[in-house]
Chain A
Amino acid sequence: MHEVSIAQSIIEIVSGQCRKGGYRSITSIRVRIGRASGIMPDALLFAFDAIKADSPARQAVLEIEEVCVSGRCRDCGRDFSVEGEYVLDCPLCGGLAFEITAGREMDVTDMEVEE
């Protein structure tokens, strides 16, 4: 629901890097978004395109890499990954002693620029 705030933060991060590096413009931006982050990729793309106009990212394409929720079970000792947004028990053995290792990511990873 707060995809506009997230899009705004992405634009601030890449615009700062663009100024620092003295680049002319940004052509693409890659971000990693975990499935458990509460961010809907379609809504983020829509928000990004809606607000990018007055920034160095005005021509940039946003590429979203989704990251599955993953964990490690201490009962069966195995690593797992699920399609959904959360894990209530280990999908391999049903154990409850697990730790979540991925799925909450919200990172800008890289961008392509014109010099």
Chain B
Amino acid sequence: MTGTVVEKITKEDGRVKVKVVTKILEANDRIALENRRLFDKARVFVVNLMSAPGAGKTSVLEKTLAQGTGLRIGVIEGDIAGSDDAERVEKFGIPVVQINTGGACHLDANMIYEVIGDLPLAELDLLFIENVGNLVCPAEFKVGEDMKVMLLSVTEGHDKPLKYPLMFQESSALILNKMDLVPYTDVDISKIRKDALSLNPNLKIFEVSCRTGAGIAEWTAWLGEQAGKG
């Protein structure tokens, strides 16, 4: 992370040029680091969960909570409006905080910073931050997470890795959800795997169906290992 470099140059015609070398997202990155420091201090492993709207982020959370990981889990729900997702997760009797972005297409570090005090961090092992449904912007904004996990539902099509490369490159794991629907579509799962792995050779891929429960055990086992490492 670079700091700001400022240098003033006065040109012959009296115009003043100021050299300002600053990362545009520096302010966000700085707050994300502070969030990370608070999470690390409380020994909470943080997962930034991202996908397009309707891919099944909240369903995967519900299945993960129902499966049981042995971890004490909290959730931050990010939505443009409403608290439907928070209400669904709250039924599991865990701490949930809802953020409404009021139109913004992603969560940023400051939005998370402002709600950290609303969570009992000392009583948590794992915190899910469910981002706003969007396959583009959330990938660019760090929020203080240990890792990013993305979902792609098979009905979104096999062209998505190459159309939205950034999120596939930034994520540690890809959950392919709604696998039970594959027989009813022309989706090519091997192409998704091939393109996603070309973009990110270290990507861990899980084939899951929240409807049938297939693949949830593998995903939660891996998640538990990652959280243990964190």
Q: A108, B21: Cβ atoms under 8 Å?
A: yes
CA distance A109 to B140 in the complex (A): 20
* Interface residues contributed by chain A, number (CB under 8 Å): 33
Interface size in chain B (residues, C-beta < 8 A): 35
| A12 within 8 Å of B (CB atoms) | yes
Interface of B is mostly: mixed
**Cβ contacts B150-171/A at 8 Å (1 or 0 each):** 0000000000001001100100
Partner of A109 from B20, B27, B104, B195 at Cβ < 8 Å: B20
Q: Contacts of B18 on A, CB cut-off 8 Å? A: 17, 21, 23, 110-113
User: Scoring A residues 1 to 19 as 1 if CB is less than 8 Å from chain B, else 0, what string do you get?
Assistant: 1100110011011100100
Nearest CB in chain B: distance from A89 CB, A:
7
Q: Are A36 and B8 in contact (CB under 8 A)?
A: no
Choose from A2, A12, A89, A112 the contact partner of B27 (Cβ within 8 Å). Answer: A12
Q: Complex formed: what's the CA distance from A111 to B21 in Å?
A: 10
| 9-residue interface stretch from B33-41, B131-139, B208-216 | B131-139
CB proximity of B164 to chain A, nearest CB, Å: 9
Q: Which residues of A contact B198 (CB under 8 A)?
A: 88-89, 96
Task: Assess A109 versus B21: contact at CB under 8 Å? Given A2-B105, A114-B16.
Answer: yes
* Contacting pair B24 A38 (CB below 8 A): no
Is there a chain A Cβ closer than 8 Å to B6's Cβ?
yes
CB distance from A10 to the nearest CB of B (A): 6
Are A9 and B6 in contact (CB-based, < 8 A)? no
Indicate if A61 sits at the interface (CB-CB under 8 A).
Answer: no
Given contacts A2-B105, A88-B195, contact A37 B22 (CB under 8 A): no
CB distance from A33 to the nearest CB of B (A): 9
Q: Are B136 and A108 in contact (CB under 8 A)?
A: no
- Complex A-B: 16 CB contacts under 8 Å: A6-B25, A9-B27, A9-B28, A12-B27, A13-B20, A17-B18, A21-B8, A23-B16, A31-B24, A36-B165, A86-B165, A107-B22, A109-B19, A110-B18, A110-B19, A112-B18
